[in-house]
Amino acid sequence: MDKNLQFLELKRMDPKVTPAPTRLKDYKEIYGHYTIKQASEQSGRCIECGNPYCEWKCPVHNYIPQWLKLISEDRLLEAADLSHQTNSLPEICGRICPQDRLCEGACTLNDGFGAVTIGSIEKYITDEALKQGWKPDLSNVIPTKFKVGIIGAGPAGLACADVLSRKGIKAVIYDKYEEIGGLLTFGIPPFKLDKDIVLKRKKILEGMGVEFVLNTNIGKDISFEKFSSMYDAIFLGMGTYTYMKGGFSGEDLQGVYDALPYLNSNIRRLMKSKNNEYIDMKGKTVLVLGGGDTAMDCNRTAKRQGAKKVYCAYRRNEENMPGSKREVKNSKEEGIEFLWNMQPIEIIGNDKVEGVKFVKTKLQKKDIRGREIPVVIEGSEHTIKADHVIMAFGFRPNPPSWLIKNKVKTDEIGRVIINSKSKYSHQTNNPKIFSGGDMVRGSDLVVTAVFEGRNAADGISKFLNDSIQKKLNAINS
């Protein structure tokens, strides 16, 4: 049979998923793994489009058709090398990227035949390659004398360090937490991303020469001035950790929690961390406010904690939810009741939560981005009782005070401003300091942070090499 027509006989087959009644008993990843034969067959469904929309839709522009072909030919280690040419965290992006909105959503076969299972194969490539002893090949890398200090061990910082190491530049990553990953470790639940996966990536990076300095808060444990004096350039990748509020009364009542502290407390309990204030939803009626992936994480965590009932309220309809369709589907399977077109206006209670007052909405008109706007339906106020409320409205940056002292500009909501006139990608107004990821864009996808961390590393490398050339020119003149 013509290889390019294989999709006609071979249907899309996702890895096995643990049934909801079983998966609610623990926090293990719910998606299984392909066998070699399954990965090869599913990769072979790719029709190798002349203009690969999947590649263009991917924020890091992975060479998707090429590594699908390699897997279809059982050339695993070559596929791993190629995958890492564009993505520093492929096994993580394969697990948590919203492929339905990105690569798979753009797949030509998505219209009637079922998209190629790009995310599952991306995960398979690195998982299996590591089992076979694959390591990044740095044999042709020529070491330099440059050292770059990176603040933040999240996706952007890790990606920046990866690319710098491949250019022979020493990268040292500082983070205030006891482990790397940022929200990968302390925000995303383990049923979506097993924490051992992040630790494996740490070992890979250490093998590449990346150094980690953890439990260290720059600006407190080490002054920024001292830190800056130790390095030739600096990358800021501290992410977004300021919780967005709804701006209505009752948000300070007992029993109201912000999403990140809630998720963090559960993860730290699973990690058996000391001095953790565990937030438990067992036997409670829980109302999660928000429609993104963080809200879905809260939904599914509360169910695993043994919540009696979990509602998830969103002010638009299901079609307009910002979260992954896959995560909404998983939430539904696990017993979450969604309340569409419901806008909270007040959290009810005296000293503690008793419920949330909502108004119904309808979508009409368009905002500046072309998105329909929720409009309140008059006379639709009603209250839903709840024991606990979790606010999942997203995050904003929380820039440290030393940014301003060091001429790093931020906008009105705290995002770092990149110098648009600079010839070095992701350089701030302070020539020595670069930044990327959520600190610059606001809360966004992991894969986007990876893309910006990698681009920043290219900018840093060019900046450092040019600085040496300028010194040589000055000496010769």
Give the tens place of pLDDT for each residue, 146-195.
999 999 999 999 999 999 999 999 999 999 999 999 999 999 999 999 99
- Residue 248: the pLDDT is 94
In a domain, 8, yes or no: yes
pLDDT in tens, 8-22: 778 999 999 999 999
| 175 shares a domain with 248 | no
CA 109 – CA 372 distance, rounded (Å): 29
Within this chain, do residues 378 and 417 fall inside the same structural domain, yes or no? no
Closest CA to 273 of 186, 189, 155, 173: 186
| 136, part of any domain | no
Domain of 182?
147-241+397-476
Answer yes or no: do 86 and 57 share one domain. yes
Q: What is the pLDDT of residue 2?
A: 58
Residue 410 lies in a domain: yes
CATH number of domain containing 7: 1.10.1060.10
In a domain, residue 270? The reply is yes
71, containing H or E segment: helix 64-72
On whether the CB atoms of residues 15 and 32 are closer than 8 A, the answer is yes
Are 161 and 124 found together in one domain? no
Same domain, yes or no, for 360 and 257?
yes
Say if residues 66 and 60 touch (Cβ distance below 8 Å).
Answer: no
The span from the CA of 83 to the CA of 75, in Å, is 12
Whole-number Å distance between alpha carbons of 230 and 348: 52
**Position 314 in a domain:** yes
Specify whether 118 is located in the same domain as 35. Answer: yes
User: Does residue 440 contact residue 459 with C-beta atoms inside 8 Å?
Assistant: no
Pick from 368, 394, 420: which residue ends a domain?
394
Q: Are residues 160 and 40 in the same domain?
A: no
Q: According to the model, what pLDDT value does residue 275 have?
A: 87
Domain termination residue (choose one: 98, 131, 164): 131
The number of residues in the chain equals: 477
What's the pTM value of the predicted model, to 2 decimals?
0.94
Q: State which amino acid sits at residue 243.
A: Y
Structure tokens at 156: 């952007």
Out of 335, 363, 394, a domain closes at 394
Whole-number pLDDT of residue 195: 97
| pLDDT at res. 3 | 62
The reply to whether 137 falls in a domain is no
Mean pLDDT in consecutive groups of 10 residues from the start of the chain, 477 residues: 68 96 98 96 92 95 97 97 98 96 94 93 98 96 97 98 98 97 96 98 98 97 97 95 88 96 97 94 98 96 98 94 90 98 97 97 81 91 98 90 93 94 97 96 94 98 92 77
Q: Are residues 456 and 382 in the same domain?
A: no
Identify whether residues 69 and 155 lie together within a single domain. no
* Nearest partner of 149 among 241, 240, 224, 202, judged by Cα: 224
- Joined tokens for residue 227: 């830190």
Q: Residue 190 and residue 267: Cα distance in Å, rounded?
A: 8
Domain assignment present for 141: no
In a domain, 338, yes or no: yes
Q: Are 337 and 312 in contact (CB under 8 A)?
A: yes
Q: Are residues 28 and 112 in the same domain?
A: yes
Q: Are 403 and 410 within 8 A, CB to CB? A: yes
User: Are 79 and 206 contained in the same domain?
Assistant: no
What is the Cα–Cα distance from 237 to 152, expressed in whole angstroms?
5
| Domain shared by 252 and 384, yes or no | yes
Helix, strand, coil fractions of the chain, as percent rounded to 5 = 40, 15, 45
CATH label of the domain that carries residue 171 = 3.50.50.60
Write out the E strands in 377-427. Answer: 382-385, 388-391, 395-396
The phi and psi torsions of 236 (rounded to 5 degrees) equal -105, 120
The domain total for the chain is: 3
Residue 349 near residue 250, CB atoms below 8 Å: yes
* Residue of 4, 107, 6, 102 lying closest to 57 (CA atoms): 102
Q: What is the CA radius of gyration of the chain?
A: 24
Q: Which of 371, 383, 385 is nearest to 319 (CA)?
A: 371
Q: Closest by alpha carbon to 333, among 305, 310, 356? A: 310
SS3 232: coil
Q: Distance of CA 13 to CAs 10, 33, 40, 70, Å?
A: 9, 11, 12, 19
Q: Which amino acid, 366?
A: K
In angstroms, rounded to a whole number, what is the distance separating the alpha carbons of residues 33 and 124? 7
pLDDT score recorded for residue 396? 85
Task: Find where tokens 């701030």 sit.
Answer: 428
